[in-house]
Structures are given as structure tokens and as C-alpha cells.
């Protein structure tokens, strides 16, 4: 606690990243600066989010009425397939890991860049072609077998589109593996001296766990897709029972990736929320170690529960018990996190700005999704609601409610660091309210639809479900509209927003100890670990006292020790 240096003054912030040429140019170049790459990821994936959102609106428009009158049934299948693929492989996974991971990790551990800057750029530049390839499939008959691409359906229908789906997922998967290698090496090898694992910001713990999951599970998906493409192109019968093959093997391989994938998506959000809540609650995080180690526990458990997606696939009863129990055990580390976050908020001096609102939105939406997760984890209940809208509700609460609120929270929190400008709070709050209302209006009623037996992935349905579906569709429109204030806010603020200081939130992690935006190699002087990341000078601050970090640092400097 006795480190006695002051972070670089705001004076140096004036000439932050200038290295000639218009500022925006570097974002369309093959840059090897992790900060540029991080922003490239965030902007690109956000564009794909808008594409995925447009597809979702089309899906919901079709479902506004019970008949399939808006698009054909084939097109409907393609719409929800490409929608899900875009959202998962082109938005949440790359934004959470590639976007925030790249931007934040080197800054948070006091490194000048990622371990392999060129590899990093290569990983990013696989995303746009992969995404464009996927979308181009609409010209040849887009894939329509769902984002799970189960055979035999995927090998009999829409061959060209299905092949494009496989190729683009392979490209995106490779990108994510290359990224994970980079994160693992960076976090393990490049922490600044003095930063042990237990001084590491929680976001880094989360990224460490997520990267390990990517490394261990994504390749198995690649294996499944290689076999699937042989079935598709050459006509082998790996997954085709008529030739002695077994479609269930595909399901196992697919879910061995895709269950961990949900944690690949959510762990970075867990990490970000663990950063954001203490800063805006002005209170140390509750249970640092519990949160850190529970990320590892989630990774490990996440690897062994995949077959809870296959309760109705003829999985033997004893095996279903195993997967049911292990799945429910994941609720323990997850619950530990949730309780730690609540305890962090409890009695804090909350700054109710957009970052914290979205952060709390994240926690509450994720809790709802987690609870329905426990429900579907129990075999008898799952057999009842499997492939109904209940599952759609569950997965959207965790994925969309969880990940998207998490990403937005992160964007509001780190925007000043990334751009050197503050976002507008009023627009941020409008954005939050619209998102919260639209989201719940769209997805909450789906629980009822599912319990009453409305199947998922169908373009037309029994008229008795019409009213609820209409409500959902209106909700989805509100959700679509909710992105507008954010886009206006982000673009406007990036250009004209109030200038941000190096540390506008008085946060304690290292990324705030440099200018906003940080200079090319992140730190002018060596950054200083003057306390653990979340101490908030608790041992310096008297009860009832409210001091900025600068004041506290000055105090520490005055009487070291």
C-alpha cells in the first residue's frame, strides 16, 4: 500500500494517440495496436448486431400473426438461422472477447500490448469476411437448419447455404481460437511485476477462464463441422443412420462446444460487471477471491454438462441424471457471483448513471434467465418444455439480457477511456428504459407461450397464441427502436462529446491510470499498483469521507507507509 507515485497527469493527455493522418483512418487499417483492434472489433460486431437485429425484427414480424403471410416458410427458417448465427458468432462472442478483451486486458495488467500483436490483427480481420460470407448465403438459399445445424436436416436441405454456414463458422471459430491463445499468453506471461494472480482485475480472471474454454471446446466444433461437411459434399454417412452413421454424435460434439460457448459469451460480461459495479457503487467488490475462482469453477463445470441439451435425444436415464446434477451445480458458482454483486451494491454510494443502470439490468435479467435455466435443467420439466418457446425465453434472458446488457454497460463505462469523450447521460437513460421495456415485453411472455406448448422454429402457429405473440412482436419493435438513441449518442459524443479526463469515474484499475484515450503504448510512465484493484482506498478513507483518487494518491504520497 505504500507505493508513492502519481499517475500521469491529464496534461499529457493532450497529445494522446496522434501519429499523423486523420484519426479515423487507423480504424480501417491493419493496425497491431490492441486498442485499435479492440475498437475495430466493437464497431464491426455492433454493425453485425444491427444486421442480426434486423433479421430478428423480420422473424417477429412474421410471428405477429398466426399465418405464415409475411415471408415463405423456407425464408422464415433462414431468417431465424442466420439471425442466431450472427448474434452468437458475430456479435456476442467477438464483442465480449475480441472487443473488450483486446481493449482492456493489456491496459489492466500494465502491458504495452498483447503478446502477439500481428496474430491479434489477423484474428480480427477474419471476422468481416466470415460475416459477409455468412450473409451472402441469402443469395444462394440461406441455411435453414437452425444455428445448431443438426443433421440429418442440415445435410438434406439447402446444401449451398449450409456449406457457407459451415465455412463461415469455421472461419469465425478459428479467429476466436487465435484470440484465446493471445489472451492466455498475455494474461499468464505479461502481467506487470508485482501483479500476482490475486491482484489481477476480475475482468482478467473472467477472460482467462473464457479463453481456456475457447481453447478446449471450439476445436471440437471444428471437428464436428469437418465431418458434417463430408456428409454434405462427398456424401459420407457419419451422421446419417441410413449409412450406419449416428446423428447423435454430432449433437454431442456440437454441444461440447456450444454449451461452453454460452459461458464464453457470459464470462466476459461477468468480468465487466465485476469491474463496473464497484466503481459506480463507490465500494470495494465483495468477495474478490470468490468471484475470481468461481470463474474458473464455471469454466470447468461448463465443460462437462453439455448433454443437458440432449435430454430428449434418447440419452439414457442414468446419463441424464449425471448431466442434470452437474448442470444444477453450476448454479453454485454463478450464485456466488450474483450474491457478491448484490453485496457490492448494498450500502454503496450508487452513481445511477447509464453504465450502472445497464449493469444492474444485467444482474436482474441474468438472474431470471438463470432461474429458468435451473428449471430446464431438471429432466422432467425439460421434457415438457423442450423445443418450445420456454427455451427461447430462457436463452434470450441469459444471452440477450445477460450479454447485451453487459456489453452496453461496458460500452457506457469504457467509452470515455476509448474515445476520450463522455457519452451523454440523458440519451443513455432513454436508451436504458427503452431497452428494458422492449426486452421484457418481448421475452417475458414467451415463458407462457412455452408452458402452453407453442413450439419454437415454426412460421405459423395455433391462433390461441396470437395475442401473446403480438405483444412479443411489439416488444421487439421497441427493442429495435431502442438502439437508435444509443447510435446517435455514440456517434455524436465521439465527435462532439465533453472531453473525458484520464479517470472520469475515479476508478482504481490500471487502465484509468493513463490518458483517455491512452497513448500508443498505453502508459507514459510505468503504471503503479498502489493497491489491489478494488480497495477503493478503504483503509485510507474515513467513514463518510468522499475523496477522489487523485486526492487519495496525494495523501499516500505525503505519508508513505
Partner 1 sequence: MQGSTVDSGQTALNYQTEAIASGHHGEHPDHRIFGVIMFLVAESMIFLGLFAAYLTFKLNTPDWRPEGESELELLLPGINTLILIASSFVLHQGDSAIKKNNQAGLRIWFGATALMGAVFLCGQIYEYFHLPFGLKSNLFASTFYVLTGFHGLHVLFGLLLILGVLWRSRKSDHYNSEHHFGVEAAELYWHFVDVVWIVLFTLLYLL
Among residue numbers 42 through 101, which ones bind partner 1 (CB under 8 A)?
none
* 95 touches ligand HEM by CB under 6 A: no
What phi, psi does 455 have (nearest 5°)? -70, 150
In this chain, which stretch among 103-111, 130-138, 265-273, 363-371 interacts with partner 1, using CB under 8 A? 103-111
Cell numbers given for 92: 456476442
Judged by beta carbon, residue 259 or residue 421, the one nearer Cu ion is: 259
Among residue numbers 244 through 273, which ones bind Cu ion (CB under 5 A)?
259
How many residues bind to Cu ion according to rule CB under 5 A?
1
* 342 touches partner 1 by CB under 8 A: no
* 421 touches Cu ion by CB under 5 A: no
Report how far residue 136's alpha carbon sits from residue 156's, in angstroms, rounded to the nearest whole number.
20
Among residue numbers 281 through 300, which ones bind partner 1 (CB under 8 A)?
284-289
Q: Which residue is nearest to ligand HEM (CB)?
A: 373
In this chain, which stretch among 386-394, 459-467, 490-498, 550-558 interacts with ligand HEM, using CB under 6 A? 386-394
Q: Which does 244 bind (CB under 5 to 8 A by kind): ligand HEM, partner 1, Cu ion, none?
A: partner 1
Write down the residue that cell numbers 456466488 correspond to: 336
Q: Are 356 and 350 in contact (CB under 8 A)?
A: yes
Looking at residue 499, the DSSP 8-state letter turns out to be B
Among residue numbers 186 through 215, which ones bind partner 1 (CB under 8 A)?
188-190, 192-195, 198-199, 215
Judged by beta carbon, residue 188 or residue 371, the one nearer Cu ion is: 371
Nearest Cα to Cα of residue 103 among 412, 408, 417, 515: 417
Q: Are 149 and 80 in contact (CB under 8 A)?
A: no
CA distance to 1, 307, 521, per residue, from 524 (Å): 22, 50, 8
* 209 touches ligand HEM by CB under 6 A: no
Nearest Cα to Cα of residue 509 among 271, 263, 183: 271
Determine which helix (DSSP H) or strand (DSSP E) holds 113, and give its type and residue range. none
* 370 touches ligand HEM by CB under 6 A: yes
Q: Which does 331 bind (CB under 5 to 8 A by kind): partner 1, ligand HEM, Cu ion, none?
A: ligand HEM
Question: What is the 3-class SS of 276-319, one letter each residue?
Answer: HHHHHHCCCCCCHHHHHHHHHHHHHHHCCCHHHHCCCCCCCHHH
Least distance between Cu ion and beta carbon 150 (Å): 15
* 53 touches ligand HEM by CB under 6 A: no
- Beta partners for 499? 421
In this chain, which stretch among 208-216, 221-229, 330-338, 340-348 interacts with ligand HEM, using CB under 6 A? 330-338
Judged by beta carbon, residue 312 or residue 557, the one nearer ligand HEM is: 312
Cell numbers given for 176: 476466436
Among residue numbers 227 through 286, which ones bind ligand HEM (CB under 6 A)?
262-263, 265-266
Question: What is the 3-class SS of 2-54, one letter each residue?
Answer: CCCCCCCCHHHHHHCCCCCCCHHHHHHCCCCCHHHHHHHHHHHHHHHHHHHHH
* 395 touches ligand HEM by CB under 6 A: yes
Q: Which does 377 bind (CB under 5 to 8 A by kind): Cu ion, partner 1, ligand HEM, none?
A: ligand HEM
Judged by beta carbon, residue 231 or residue 382, the one nearer ligand HEM is: 382
- The residues, ordered by sequence, that sit 6+ positions from 245 with a Cβ below 8 Å of its Cβ are 231, 236, 237, 238, 239
Cell numbers given for 26: 487507423
Least distance between partner 1 and beta carbon 529 (Å): 4
Least distance between partner 1 and beta carbon 290 (Å): 9
What is the chain's length? 561
Judged by beta carbon, residue 401 or residue 517, the one nearer partner 1 is: 517
* 531 touches partner 1 by CB under 8 A: yes
Least distance between ligand HEM and beta carbon 101 (Å): 17
Q: Are 412 and 418 in contact (CB under 8 A)?
A: no
* 220 touches partner 1 by CB under 8 A: yes
How many residues bind to ligand HEM according to rule CB under 6 A?
25
- Beta partners for 455? 388
The binding site for ligand HEM (CB under 6 A) comprises 148, 262-263, 265-266, 308-309, 327-328, 330-331, 334, 370, 373-374, 376-377, 382, 386, 391, 394-395, 398-399, 402
Amino acid at each position: 500500500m505504500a507505493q508513492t507515485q502519481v499517475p500521469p497527469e491529464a496534461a499529457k493527455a493532450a497529445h494522446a494517440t496522434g501519429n499523423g493522418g486523420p484519426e479515423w483512418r487507423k480504424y480501417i487499417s491493419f493496425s497491431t495496436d490492441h486498442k485499435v483492434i479492440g475498437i475495430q472489433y466493437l464497431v464491426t460486431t455492433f454493425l453485425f448486431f444491427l444486421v442480426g437485429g434486423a433479421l430478428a425484427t423480420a422473424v417477429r414480424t412474421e410471428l405477429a400473426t398466426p399465418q405464415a403471410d409475411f415471408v415463405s416458410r423456407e425464408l422464415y427458417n433462414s431468417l431465424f438461422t442466420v439471425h442466431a448465427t450472427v448474434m452468437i458468432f458475430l456479435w456476442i462472442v467477438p464483442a465480449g472477447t475480441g472487443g473488450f478483451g483486446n481493449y482492456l486486458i493489456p491496459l489492466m495488467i500494465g502491458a504495452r500490448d498483447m503478446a502477439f500483436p500481428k496474430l491479434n490483427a489477423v484474428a480480427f480481420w477474419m471476422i468481416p469476411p466470415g460475416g459477409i460470407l455468412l450473409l451472402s448465403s441469402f443469395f444462394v438459399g440461406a441455411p435453414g437448419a437452425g444455428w445448431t445445424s443438426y443433421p440429418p436436416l442440415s445435410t438434406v436441405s439447402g446444401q449451398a447455404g449450409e456449406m457457407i454456414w459451415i465455412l463461415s463458422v469455421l472461419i469465425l471459430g478459428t479467429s476466436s481460437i487465435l484470440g484465446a491463445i493471445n489472451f492466455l499468453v498475455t494474461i499468464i506471461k505479461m502481467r506487470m511485476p508485482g501483479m500476482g494472480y490475486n491482484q489481477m482485475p476480475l475482468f482478467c480472471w473472467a477472460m482467462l477462464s473464457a479463453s481456456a474454454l475457447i481453447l478446449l471446446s471450439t476445436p471440437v466444433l471444428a471437428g464436428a463441422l469437418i465431418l458434417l461437411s463430408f456428409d454434405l459434399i462427398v456424401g459420407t454417412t457419419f451422421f446419417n443412420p441410413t449409412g450406419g452413421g449416428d446423428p447423435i454424435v454430432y449433437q454431442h460434439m456440437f454441444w461440447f462446444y456450444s454449451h461452453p460457448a454460452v459461458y464464453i459469451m457470459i464470462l466476459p460480461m461477468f468480468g465487466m460487471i465485476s469491474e463496473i459495479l464497484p466503481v459506480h457503487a463507490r465500494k470495494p467488490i465483495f468477495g474478490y477471491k470468490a468471484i475470481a475462482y468461481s470463474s474458473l469453477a464455471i469454466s470447468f463445470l461448463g465443460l462437462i454438462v453439455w448433454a443437458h441439451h440432449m435430454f430428449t435425444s434418447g440419452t439414457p436415464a442414468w446419463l441424464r441424471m449425471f448431466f442434470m446434477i452437474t448442470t444444477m451445480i453450476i448454479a453454485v458458482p454463478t450464485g456466488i457471483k450474483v450474491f457478491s454483486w448484490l453485496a457490492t451494491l448494498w450500502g454503496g454510494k450508487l452513481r445511477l448513471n447509464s453504465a450502472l443502470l445497464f449493469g444492474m439490468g444485467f444482474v436482474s435479467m441474468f438472474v431470471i434467465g438463470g432461474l429458468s435455466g435451473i428449471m430446464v435443467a431438471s429432466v422432467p420439466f425439460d421434457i415438457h418444455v423442450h423445443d418450445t418457446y420456454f427455451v427461447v425465453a430462457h436463452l434470450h434472458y441469459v444471452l440477450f439480457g445477460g450479454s447485451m446488457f453487459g456489453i452496453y454497460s461496458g460500452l457506457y463505462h469504457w467509452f470515455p477511456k476509448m474515445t476520450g469523450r463522455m457519452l451523454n447521460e440523458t440519451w443513455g437513460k432513454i436508451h436504458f428504459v427503452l431497452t428494458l421495456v422492449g426486452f421484457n415485453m418481448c421475452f417475458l411472455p414467451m415463458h407462457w407461450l412455452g408452458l402452453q406448448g407453442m413450439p419454437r422454429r415454426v412460421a405459423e402457429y395455433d391462433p390461441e397464441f396470437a395475442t401473446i405473440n403480438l405483444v412479443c412482436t411489439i416488444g421487439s419493435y421497441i427493442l429495435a427502436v431502442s438502439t437508435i438513441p444509443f447510435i446517435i449518442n455514440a456517434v455524436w459524443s465521439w465527435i462532439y462529446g465533453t472531453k473525458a479526463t484520464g479517470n472520469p469515474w475515479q476508478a482504481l484499475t490500471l487502465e484509468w491510470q493513463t490518458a483517455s484515450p491512452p497513448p500508443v503504448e498505453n502508459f507514459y510512465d510505468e503504471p503503479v499498483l498502489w493497491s489491489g484493484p478494488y480497495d477503493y482506498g478503504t483503509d485510507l478513507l474515513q467513514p463518510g469521507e468522499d475523496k477522489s483518487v487523485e486526492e487519495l494518491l496525494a495523501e499516500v504520497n505525503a505519508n508513505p507507509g
